[in-house]
Amino acid sequence: MSFALTIGGKAVPCADSFAVIDPATGAEFAQCPLASVEQLDQAVAAARAAFPGWAATPIERRAEMIHAFADALAAEADELGALLSREQGKPLRAAVGEIHGAIHWTRTTAGFRPAVERIEQADGGRVEIHRKPLGVVGSITPWNFPVMIAIWHVIPALVAGNTVVQKPSPNTPLATLRVVEIAARHLPAGVWNVVTGDIEIGSGIARHPDIDKVVFTGSTPTGRAIMRDGAANLKRLTLELGGNDAAIVLPDADVEAIAPQIFQYAFGNSGQICAAIKRVYVHDSLHDALAEKVAALAAAAKVGPGADPATQYGPLQNRRQFDYVRSLAEDARARGGRFLAGGEPLDGEGYFFPLSVVVDVTDGNRIVDEEQFGPVLPIVRYSDVEDVLARANASENGLGGSVWSSDIGRAAELAQRLECGTAWVNSHSKISPDVPFGGAKQSGIGVEFGLHGLDEYMQLQTVRLPAGA
């Protein structure tokens, strides 16, 4: 396997490289080229040079090229999925599913058209509101859904007429390098460039005077650093950051029906989903029954290497996350938490942690207050609905939240009182390419997806015309 940067439409080798680790073994399985700061500058220059031509290309033509790229992704979905599974750790089926999800997102987003709005004025004058691309967009992605999130960032930027310099997480760079290599066959040179590296190149993107906007998905501390670094040229920002989503189960919920769903939305991708259920508050009257059912599902789940067809849940993606999740589980136990499933790392090599359910923990415990981003779910008792709403909202995060009940109207009222960007009733985590998604409070700035998401890649321009125009 050999990999290269894509700059100005060409495969570009690097003098340095770094190891990519297989999370199922903890051992290196490939070398990834490491971009230099000069190569970042070259990528930005290529994107800048490509911008006027791409912005002037009719949107229908841009969309055709993006569809051709989607066709090419579909033709290579199995190979890409295998590479993604190897570097990310998720089961092969889930990795191929991620590629197909990325294709679906690409095609839907390619159908979006920015609106021109018109406002009539009392004096007979007319106002038109146009939307124009921003220029060069820097995209910095995390390691949980490397290909999906790369597509979320780049496709709306391109549809809007911008050009892109992307940097994948150094934990999972390889599938993204392949995706951009494929894109380069279908897009004009310099429209989509990719560089690699960690903080030096990431903050180089955030500081770069010739990048107009940064879209970032990752942790809240890194989001803050990007805001600071981007201030020099007042970069536009879309930040999709951490979450600590609460699910509130009301006393009239149907335990049998909801247990498998709570389980699914908490443990998908081994809990490494920004808007997964990260803490479940269950009314006293249902607490024990629900906790037992979710724990039984967790205990029965098959955790293993992504390449094993029997595997349902893969390892944590990297050593740092594995150590962090383990420390949260240890802290929960030390504070009297009782594990109904899991609780200790699995023996052997690799970053395997079983799906774990812990009860007898509460607010003020790290496992409830912090974002675990891994397969350890706290189930917390409550008795008063107003009190539990306050507890759910007592977080610097505000990505998502959900209310579970047999009374949809009542649940919808409570859902609207959650301080979060998306509130679900009787589900969680569900997203769609045409529905805006973003974080309240310190979970982010701006939204992705749909026409609201497209707007984030465009500058509004108000054109005022005189009466009679």
Looking at the Cβ atoms of 141 and 365, the one nearer to ligand NAD is 141
DSSP string, 137-156: EEEE--SSSHHHHHHHHHHH
Looking at the Cβ atoms of 356 and 443, the one nearer to ligand NAD is 443
- Is residue 396 annotated as part of the catalytic site, yes or no? no
Pairing status of strand 440-441 against strand 397-398: antiparallel
Considering the rule CB under 6 A, would residue 334 count as an interface residue with ligand NAD?
Answer: no
Pairwise CA distance, residues 455 & 459, whole Å: 8
Site for ligand NAD in 94-153 (CB under 6 A): 140-144
Contact 404, 248 (CB under 8 A): yes
Q: Which of 444, 446, 450, 453 binds ligand NAD (CB under 6 A)?
A: 444
Which residues make Cβ contacts (< 8 Å) with residue 255, sequence separation at least 6?
Answer: 286, 289, 290, 293
Looking at the Cβ atoms of 44 and 206, the one nearer to ligand NAD is 206
Query: What phi and psi, each to the nearest 5 degrees, are found at residue 382?
Result: -145, 165
Residue nearest to ligand NAD (CB): 202
Q: Which of 87, 245, 371, 456 binds ligand NAD (CB under 6 A)?
A: 371
Residue with tokens 């959650």: 418
Helix (H) or strand (E) holding 215: strand 213-217
Pairwise CA distance, residues 283 & 96, whole Å: 38
Looking at the Cβ atoms of 133 and 453, the one nearer to ligand NAD is 453
- Taking the complex as a whole, how short is the minimal distance between the CB of residue 204 and ligand NAD, in angstroms? 8
Considering the rule CB under 6 A, would residue 206 count as an interface residue with ligand NAD?
Answer: yes
Considering the rule CB under 6 A, would residue 373 count as an interface residue with ligand NAD?
Answer: yes
Site for ligand NAD in 208-267 (CB under 6 A): 217-219, 222, 225-226, 240-243
Any idea what DSSP says for residue 231? Answer: G
- Is residue 240 annotated as part of the catalytic site, yes or no? yes
Question: Of the ranges 127-135, 201-209, 280-288, 335-343, which one interacts with ligand NAD (CB under 6 A)?
Answer: 201-209
Pairwise CA distance, residues 203 & 22, whole Å: 26
Amino acid 404 reads W
Catalytic residue among 32, 274, 420, 456: 274
Pairwise CA distance, residues 168 & 373, whole Å: 19
Considering the rule CB under 6 A, would residue 37 count as an interface residue with ligand NAD?
Answer: no
Contact 351, 321 (CB under 8 A): yes
- Taking the complex as a whole, how short is the minimal distance between the CB of residue 73 and ligand NAD, in angstroms? 21
Catalytic residue among 98, 240, 371, 448: 240
Q: Which of 169, 238, 261, 395 binds ligand NAD (CB under 6 A)?
A: 169
Considering the rule CB under 6 A, would residue 274 count as an interface residue with ligand NAD?
Answer: yes
Pairwise CA distance, residues 374 & 240, whole Å: 18
Catalytic residues: 240, 274
Q: Which residues bind ligand NAD (CB under 6 A)?
A: 140-144, 167, 169-170, 198-199, 202-203, 206, 217-219, 222, 225-226, 240-243, 274, 371, 373, 399, 439, 444
